[in-house]
Chain A
Amino acid sequence: MQLALFLIFAVLCVLGALNLLLQRSPINSALSLVVVMLSLAVIYWTLGAEFLAAAQVIVYSGAIMVLFTFVIMLLNAGEEVKTRGSKVAYIVGVPAVLCVAALLSYTFLHERAALGYANLGGRLNDGASNMAELSKVLFTDLLLPFEVTSILILVAILGAVVLARKDN
């Protein structure tokens, strides 16, 4: 059952990502990104990370991507013109991506005992809610990074206010 869910949504995720790159109108690309995020949320869910799945849906697909589409609609962004792309991207970019992918997969496969991994579709926590554990870690061990992140967001909000304010 979980294997089936994984296969369906992994395929959907990859297709969405490809569509994101290949579409020429920005709104279709943004919507493909929403599909990618929703399928990722389902994959998180099958791995037992329910809170992460819900946060992914609410924050990314429900808020951030809505703002993206909002901006695209407001600016009425037209279709992109397809270019051949720069030569550097082909000569350096493609091998670099392959190298990074190879390095990451080597590390994951080699060090998987140390990293801790889930069997495909295996649930990490026997169906129990991991929210309490998550909040404990967030408010004890990771308190400093957590608070620093909120200050970072506050700075971003202030920046937006400064940029949006009219000069007078």
Chain B
Amino acid sequence: MHLSNFQIFLLLTVLKIVVVLLVTLTAVAYTVLLERKVIGLIQNRWGPSRTGPFGLLQPLADGIKLFLKEDLMPLAVERPLFVIAPMIALSCALVSIAVVPFGNVFTYRGVSLFEISDINIGLLVILGITSIGVYGIALSGWSSNNKYSLLGSLRASAQVISYELALGLSLVGVVLRAGSLRLRDIVNSQAHHGALSWNILPQFFGFFIYLMAAYAETNRAPFDLPEAESELVAGYHTEYSSMKFAMFFMAEYANMITVACVATLMFFGGASSPLGHLLPETFGGRFLTAVFPILWFVVKIFAFIFLYIWVRSTLPRFRYDQLMSFGWKWLLPLAMVNILITSLVLAFHG
């Protein structure tokens, strides 16, 4: 059977989407397990250990449990929005991974295999989709008709809007250095001398701002005020149960993975090896040259997620006014100074 190029493109794209979705959702499930395990060990307990060896089947059991639970629909909710909100949250969290390049360019009949799509403005696409994701949280709180939910979602919207500015500005330095918004170009601009040419060294302040803003954007500790359980019961998802709750849960962890992907691409050389040219180009034959970059990428993502969990189990929660003044009075000016210095250096040196 002979397939035209367009048919090949269509088939491979669908295949890539299915594979990436499966891998991401599995990663989400096992990030939850990793979090419970690591926090358990940090707090000197075991974490889940009964379901399967080392508790490895725990995500499966949790999934079945959430799926089989009764789906409660409170009487006072705004029905359509209440149902749509978790879908918006989850789909926005999953869509943004479509522009992430996972490995080196490796084409089969003109279709790049290790990324779903390669877009000129990939970075803006990720930022745009993340900014749409706020609607999931905002609407869930409003449509629940519950004061704790509403307070949680108001906090979340204000927090996300405030930190989005710092987040966007922290990445401008990297974009200036690479001269492109295409993620592939940004990765290539840091691939010359291994770990030495990664953006983390010249853009350290940018990375610091990005990291802080990313914790706030994903509503994670120490900025998890939208779901501060000691103040707001559970925040915006108080009224949700069963799979609708699971969607919010998955969206949060998928967002963590996306944020880790962006940090890796922007500051840690994406899928490029930290060893640079110490290893020969054709090390280990054709198969290994294709697989090694993906391995590096996964290791970097894992390190970021571990950092996330470590921070959550170590730091206490900020107070709301501290959160706001930190974002507006420290991160935002710092990001602007970073842009100014980067552009001055590029103007006189580049």
Contact = CB atoms under 8 A, between A and B. Distances in A.
Interface of A: 27, 31, 34, 38, 50-51, 54-55, 57-58, 61-63, 66-67, 69-70, 73-74, 128-129, 131
Nearest to B138: A69
A61 B161 CA distance: 12
Interface stretch (B60-68, B151-159, B255-263, B271-279): B151-159
A62 B141 CA distance: 18
A70 B157 contact: yes
Nearest to B6: A1
Contacts of B138: 66, 69-70, 73
Q: Taking chain B's interface residues, is the majority helix, strand, or loop, or is none over half, making it mixed?
A: helix
A157 B292 CA distance: 50
Given A69-B138, A73-B153, A57 B131 contact: yes
Closest 6 CB pairs of A and B: A62-B131, A54-B124, A57-B128, A129-B120, A73-B142, A58-B128
Interface of B: 81, 119-121, 124-125, 127-129, 131-132, 134-135, 138-139, 141-142, 150, 153-154, 157-158, 160-161, 164, 168, 180-182
B154 A51 contact: no
The residue among A38, A54, A63, A67 with the most chain B CB atoms within 10 A of its own CB is: A54
A63 B168 CA distance: 12
B141 to A, nearest CB: 7
Contacts of A34: 135
Contacts of B129: 57
A27 B150 CA distance: 14
Contacts of B119: 50
A118 B178 CA distance: 31
Contacts of A62: 127-128, 131-132, 134, 164
Contacts of B120: 50, 128-129, 131
B154 A54 contact: no
A58 B131 contact: yes
Contacts of A74: 154
